Amino acid sequence: MVRSLERSQAQQNRLWRSVFAILFVCYILFLLYSIFQQASSPWELVCFNTVSYIIY
């Protein structure tokens, strides 16, 4: 009984570790993409805000 519970806990532990690892990798990829976008066109967001302000 105890061994089956330990196996179940170990499987759940692996599952949650993999879920958090995937989320962490997605977060890092998003940060790298954001850094690249900001480096390639740093004034795009400022221009967009100015246009939005003029429109509204």
What are phi and psi for residue 39, nearest 5 degrees? -70, -35
Structure tokens at 51: 């246009």
Whether pLDDT at 56 is above 60: no
Whether pLDDT at 5 is above 60: yes
Residues in the chain: 56
How many distinct structural domains can be found in the chain? 1
What 3 state SS string does 1-56 have? CHHHHHHHHHHHHHHHHHHHHHHHHHHHHHHHHHHHHHHHCCCHHHHHHHHHHHHC
Averaged pLDDT of the chain: 85
Whether pLDDT at 23 is above 90: yes
Tell me the pLDDT band of 53, cut-offs 50, 70 and 90.
low
Q: Which domain holds residue 28?
A: 2-55
* Mean pLDDT calculated for residue range 7-22: 95
Residues 6+ apart with CB under 8 A from 44: 37
Whether pLDDT at 55 is above 70: no
